[in-house]
Amino acid sequence: MATRDRVQFVFAGPTTVTDLDSRFRQARQKAGPFPIAAYEFVREGLAYTARGVHGEEPAKLRAADEASLQRVDESRHVSGRQLCLGLRDYAQRQYGRLAKTVLAKWHIRGTEDFGKIVFAMIDAGMMRKTDEDSAEDFRDVFSFDDAFVDLPSKPNLPTSN
């Protein structure tokens, strides 16, 4: 895997509710029409993906000093592609056949939208990345039409004879 594909997405959360609200507002101004629920989904999906790729985070890895945090971050790294695939799996797990509908309600219609949210969260200090990372890492990772089977608009109910 090329270095460019490696993205270090680690939730770098704010310390207070006021700070969290401020960072969400900042991220929303940068990314566009996505509601807070979309950012929460991406944050939760990042944790889901990191657990899937690296397993549960051992308590001894949780560190207080910045140098140790950087080493922990690097050890929990996921690529942009891994994150997109993890978000796909997380959406399917959370919402089943309604995953595409739920994501569309949040204005998420492609993997590029995941990238917009992620990079807005990075700019707001809610996630971290490496210098090589780019929003391009999220372009066309998979097709939502292929990945998410939506419910039919009209159910195929049996007719009475």
The rounded mean pLDDT for the chain is 77
- Check if the beta carbon of residue 60 is closer than 8 Å to that of residue 22: no
Residue whose entry in the numeric block shows the structure tokens 């309604």: 98
- Check if the beta carbon of residue 88 is closer than 8 Å to that of residue 142: yes
Report helix, strand or coil for 124.
Answer: coil
State the pLDDT at residue 159. 58
State the pLDDT at residue 56. 77
- Check if the beta carbon of residue 68 is closer than 8 Å to that of residue 82: no
Tokens for 14?
Answer: 């704010």
Render pLDDT for 137-147 as a digit per residue (tens, 0 to 9): 999 999 999 99
* Domain chopping of the chain, boundaries: 3-147
Given a cut of 90, whether residue 33 has pLDDT beyond it is no
Report helix, strand or coil for 11.
Answer: strand
Tokens for 92?
Answer: 């399917």
Q: How confident is the model at residue 15 (pLDDT cuts 50, 70, 90)?
A: low
Render pLDDT for 49-107 as a digit per residue (tens, 0 to 9): 989 888 876 554 444 444 444 444 556 778 899 999 999 999 999 999 999 999 999 99
Distance from CA of residue 56 to its chain's centroid? Answer: 18
Phi-psi region of 115 (alpha: psi -120 to 50; beta: other; left: phi over 0): alpha
11 beta partners? 127
